[in-house]
Structure 1
């Protein structure tokens, strides 16, 4: 057995015990989702000019958690390419501190004949604000907001925003609500896994180098966003157990049993942000059809090769609208 094979075996055996039992996880999330279910989405869709003749673009907004208005793009192949048929839809969120960018970022999905709903994460670089009350001090960044109260935390707001984004996609004109997939990388990958665990409308999940997996290990070892939580605990060590208990409700290791749809994941073995020990800890708990693609020599990055693997995966799960013409 060479070193690569040995490392793969170690990761496949990485199966730390969940830090919460399934009943506690389900009770919390079922209550949160039931409470949110009847709040109006208040969707607005405003056509946007684009220099690209192959796409139709609209600015979209909808109401997220706590009355924050989320902003995004709704993008479809032009009517001449897809007619008036209802299309599969890809929902996507950016990585931490990022934004949804320009619509042409998603052209590869349009070439498949898919619609896209690209949404900003609240408070970060995009056009979406954050009305979540800030009742305590925070470390520079976002994720320590409400860290001591999981019912009012930033992670809860992002999770409910995600569920509402999926629901918004299902109601957009020209979308087939039975063929909605979610994809993203890093923070976006963690959000994709959250969606798979919390929304029954998701048909497939493609999560590259995902965050929000094995959060306790990440807080201890990660070199990026989770250092904000580490810095908070450095200042307030008396809150360690409370913080870890709250984070456990958002940890994909503990939510994995709720994922029932096909999942594609990737891991960079030299990644110090979303380490393979965190990604595999969640992956090994998922019981639905799944595939992991390893990059032994990659850090926190998503290659063009992996983007192509995501395309193949989505074609398998959603079909290709273009292939039917």
Structure 2
């Protein structure tokens, strides 16, 4: 067995203890019930596309609170009049929905796309979430002492509501919705698949939000913000980990019931392979993982082809 095979064998057997709070299931039952009937208060406004074969709507909807969440709803003109599969896509940390043309590959597949902002980050969406204490730089430590009002709960409901919005559109086949993203977006895709019964597939590229206790110790990415917070206030570490336990994909993996495709880079120092495998190894759904021994925190073209093939194989 060579070094690469040995490393993969160790990761495939990696199954750290869950640190899930005892009321994990009741917390999410209560949360989802509370927001089930919350109005979307949405709007769609047609805009001029850069590409003539796509229709572009600038969307606003509400999720966790009254923050208007921005999204692009994109349709391929060549499929006009048909009920389409829809890719609901979430961006990476510090990003935004960007420009509509970045999603052209899915339109060429004949799919609709709903690309949404994550609140407060580098998109067109603000953040009206209140916080009872200050935070480290970035967003994820906002409200981290309170499971009910923390940033993670807000973006979780925003994401669930994004899928709800997509399923209600007359152009979309609600039985063929894919949640998709990379890094933070991959974590949100998995989180949404764990919490919502609307997705049919989940595509998670180098996903974040997995085995976050390990990530706080070792990651060079967004979880350094929580490490800085806990370093400044070591007496609050247990409370931080308690809150994280409600949102960690490792703790929620068995709730995912739809087919999942995951990528992982063995040289990734942001979403480290231990964190990805810790969540993946606990999934009981139909699943496949593609490890890349020399890939860091990126999304390579070869795996992009794998995700397109996966969606086409499952959705048509």
Shorter-chain TM-score bucket reads: over 0.9
- Once the two structures are TM-superposed, the CA of residue 26 in structure 1 deviates from its matched residue by 1.4
CA distance in 2, matches of 1:123, 1:83: 34
**Residue 94 of structure 2, aligned match among 89, 93, 97:** 97
Normalising by structure 2, we get a TM-score of: 0.99
Normalising by structure 1, we get a TM-score of: 0.96
Q: Does 1:250 align with 2:281?
A: no
Asked whether the equivalents of residues 117 and 123 of structure 2 are also in contact (C-alpha less than 8 Å), the reply is yes
CA distance in 2, matches of 1:209, 1:277: 11
Name the structure 2 match of 1:7.
7
- After TM superposition, the runs of 4+ consecutive aligned structure 1 residues lying more than 2 A away are none
Name the structure 2 match of 1:322.
none
Name the structure 1 match of 2:70.
71
- Once the two structures are TM-superposed, the CA of residue 83 in structure 1 deviates from its matched residue by 2.7
Q: CA RMSD in A?
A: 0.8
- Once the two structures are TM-superposed, the CA of residue 224 in structure 1 deviates from its matched residue by 1.3
* SS in structure 1 of the partner of residue 313 of structure 2: helix
Asked whether the equivalents of residues 71 and 117 of structure 2 are also in contact (C-alpha less than 8 Å), the reply is yes
Aligned length: 316
CA distance in 2, matches of 1:206, 1:198: 15
- Structure 1 segments unaligned to the other structure (5+ residues): 320-325
Asked whether the equivalents of residues 65 and 128 of structure 2 are also in contact (C-alpha less than 8 Å), the reply is yes
- Once the two structures are TM-superposed, the CA of residue 25 in structure 1 deviates from its matched residue by 1.9
- Once the two structures are TM-superposed, the CA of residue 42 in structure 1 deviates from its matched residue by 1.3
- Once the two structures are TM-superposed, the CA of residue 17 in structure 1 deviates from its matched residue by 1.6
Name the structure 1 match of 2:200.
203
* SS in structure 2 of the partner of residue 312 of structure 1: helix
CA distance in 2, matches of 1:175, 1:159: 22
Asked whether the equivalents of residues 50 and 101 of structure 2 are also in contact (C-alpha less than 8 Å), the reply is no
Asked whether the equivalents of residues 194 and 252 of structure 2 are also in contact (C-alpha less than 8 Å), the reply is yes
Name the structure 1 match of 2:148.
151
Deviations 1:30-51 (A, max 9, x none): 1000000111011211001013
* SS in structure 1 of the partner of residue 141 of structure 2: coil
- Once the two structures are TM-superposed, the CA of residue 134 in structure 1 deviates from its matched residue by 2.1
- Structure 2 segments unaligned to the other structure (5+ residues): none
CA distance in 2, matches of 1:206, 1:105: 17
